[in-house]
Chain A
Amino acid sequence: METVGINRRSATFDDLGSLQESFIVKSRDYKLQYAHLYFMRLVLMRPKVLEQAELKWGSLSPVPKQVEKVLDVQQGEISYIVGTVYMDMKLKPNILNDITRDHWIAAQPDRPKYIDDDDSVYLEDESGRIKLTGPKIASDIFVTGVVVGILGSEDVNGDFKVVDVCYSISPPQEQISLMDTDEGDKYVALVSGLGIGSSEFKPLQLDLLAEYLTGEIGGTKEQTNSSNIVRVMIAGNSIVTPEIVEDDTKAKKYGYDRSSFVTEPTTILNNFLQELCTSVSVDIMPGESDPSSVTMPQQPIHPALLRSARDYSTFQSVTNPYWSCIDNVTILGTSGQTIDDIYKYVKSENRLEMAKKTLDWGHMAPTAPDTLWCYPFKDKDPFIMKQTPHIYFIGNQDKFATELVTGRGGHQTRIVMLPAFATTGTIALVNLRTLDCHSVSISTNPNKE
C-alpha cells in the first residue's frame, strides 16, 4: 500500500460544562415524586412562553386577559393561559391494568401508537386542569409535558375552546460564522445502533466501519475524507443483550442463574472502540439496549465495561441526551427514545417533523416522565433546551432523514435522523463548517459497490 502522510484534522472541543453536567445524576434520591419536575419545567418555561404569547397576542384588540392559573379561567371571557399539556389516552401503558388484569392473559405487546378516538387534551398547572377543545387542538401535535400558551375561552361545558397556541420563545444560539473558516471542511460522524449481539449484527460490516472511520480503507480520496472526521459520536444501542431462551430440558432453577451472562458483545465493542480511539475522538452514548440506566437521562456506560478504550484520551463515555461543542458548533444528540415516545402520541409517521416540533417546544423530552421513564429531578429540568443547537441528531430512527431548519429566532439547526447501523449500514457526516449533511452507507454486499 502506498503511504501518503495524511493527518487527521483537529478541532477544538468543549463539553458545554453546565449543560452536560445537568444530565449527570450524582446521588439518587427516590423519595421524590415527579410533581417537582413538572413544577420546575413550568416555572422555568412559563416566562418564555408568556414572552412569546405577548408577542403573538398582545396586539389583538381587545387585548385578551392573561389568566394566572388554569382554574381561574372564567366562562365566556377571551383569555390566554400558560400550562403543561396532559394527554388523556386510554391506550397508554397502564401498570394498574397490567397488575389487576388476570395473570393468564399475555401482556399486551407494546403498541406502536397510543392514539385513539377518545383521547382528550388537557392543560394543567398547580391548580388543576381544563379540557381543551376546538379544531386547533385536533390539527396540531400535542404530547404530555409540553408547556404551551393557549388563547380562547371556557365554554358552557367547562371546556376551553382554543383558537390559537403558542410555544416558548426560541432559546439563544451561539453565534458562529459558517463558511467563514479557511481551515477547510471538518466533519463529525454520527453513528447509532451498532446492535452488537443482535440478530442483524454483521461483524464484517462493523470492521468496515472501523476501517472507514480510521481511514484504512479506500484510496487517498476516501482516506482524506476520513481524515476530515474530527469526532465520532455513537448514539446508543451499541450492544444488545441476547434474549434468554428458557431451556425446558434443564431442571428448573428457582433462583439467579449466572450462566445467563454473555460477555461476547462487550468484547467486540471494546475492540471496535479501541480501534477508533487510536485515530479519532469518540463519544459513546448509551441507548435503550445498552448496559446503562433505563431512565432518562441515561448515565454514561460504566467505563470499566469499556476497559480497552477507556484509557485513551480520545475516548469519552457520555450521557444520553448529550450536549457538546466542536469548533463552536453546538451539538445536541439523543439515542432516539425521546422521539420514539413522541411518535406514539401522534398520527403522523414523519419523525423529522417530531424532532422539529421539539425545537419549537424548546424541550427535547416532554413525555418524560409520563411515558418516557425518567429520574425524578427535584430542582431542575435538564431537558429544557437552554440553547438552540446547530446540530441536533436523533439516533436509532427508522430511516435517514435530514433538514436544515430555521427557527423563529432566525436560528439555524441541522436536524439529522440517524438510522440504526446494524440494519441499514448507514452513518451520517455533518460538515461543521457548512452544516451540510450526507449519509455514508457501508455494505458488505460486493454487488452494491
Chain B
Amino acid sequence: MLKINYKEKINVNLLIYLAIIIVSSAILIYLDMNKFQYNYAISIIEKSLVYAVVALSMNIVTGFTGLFSLGQAGFMALGAYTTAILTIPVASRANVYYMNGILPVLENAVLPIPIALIIGGIVAAIFAALIGIPVLRLKSDYLAIATLGFSEIIRAVIASPMMDKITNGSYGLKSIPGFNSSLECFIYSLICIVIMILIINSSTGRDFKAIREDEIAARAVGIDLFKTKELSFVVSSFFTGVGGGLLAMFMRSIDSKTFQITLTYDILLIVVLGGIGSITGSIIGAFFVTAGKELLRFFDEPFAVAGVDIPLFRPGFRMVIFSILLMIVVLFFRKGLLGGNELTIRHLKKFRRKKNLDVAGGAV
C-alpha cells in the first residue's frame, strides 16, 4: 500500500522531454538548412533560448530561494566580456582593439567556445560569492538594491579607461564568433537548462525552497542559512554568466551599454510573466516575451487605415503594452501566467479532462 512509483513517473516525463528535445532539434535542423529563408525566425529562437537560460537562473535565486537579486545585467556582463575576450579570433584582435591596443597576455589567449563560456560563468560566480558575503546576511530588499548597485559598478569598471586594454573601454567588443547554427545555441542552452532543472529538483534545491518558505523554520531543521543562500546565489550567477556569454555570441558585438539596468528588468519581466518559481514558466516566458516584442514591432510603426493615421502607433508603444501586461500580472495574477505551477503532461491531461467534463455537462 505504501508503494510509490517514482520510477514510472520519472520515466514517462523523461520520455516526453526527450521527445520534445528531438522534435525541437529536428525543427531547428530544418531551419538551419534553409537559413536564408528563416533568418528572422532563427534569430528570435536563439534570443529566446539565451533569455530562457538567464531567466531560469534568475528564478533559482528569486523564485526558488526567495532572494530578490537584481544583479543579472552585471553578472551577464562579466560572462559576456569574459567569453568575448577569450573567443575573438586572434586575427581580428588588432582590428577590435585598434584604439588602445590589447593587453599582451590576452593577445593570443583563445579558448574553445564551451570552455570560454564556462570560464565566463566562473568569473560571474566568483564575483557573486564575494558580494554575497556581506549582502546575503542582510534583509532581502537590501540584496535587491545592493546587487543592482553592484551591476552598475561592473558596468562603470568595464567602460572605464583603465580597462581599455582588456574590455576596450567604451568602444566595446566586436567580431565575437556567433553560433554556427541555431542547433548549437540550442545545445548550449539545453545543457544549462537541464542542469538547472536538476539542481532545482535535487535535495539542494529543496533546501533552497525551504529557505524561501520560512528562513527560521529552515534553520530549525538544520539548514545552514548563509551557506545555502550563498550557494544559490553563486549557482544562479554562474548560469547568468554563461547566459551572458551566450548573449555575446548571439549579438556578436557588445559594449557596456548592453548591460544596463533595463536588461535586468527585461529578464525580471520574463520571470514574473512566466511565474516566479516556475521552471516551465521562465522558459515559455522567454519565448513569449522575445517573440512578442518582435511580433509587436508593427505597433511601433506608423499605422494607417484608409489613409488615416491611427495615432497610437508610434515608437515605444509595444514596450508600453509590455509594461501594462507586467502590471496586470503583478496585480491580478500574482503567481504569473502559469501560477507557480509546472506545465507537465499531467496538467494538460487534467485540463483536458476538465474540459471534457464541461462539455459533457453542457450536453445534459
Is B one of A's binding partners? no
Interface residues of B (CB under 8 A from A): none
Interface residues of A (CB under 8 A from B): none
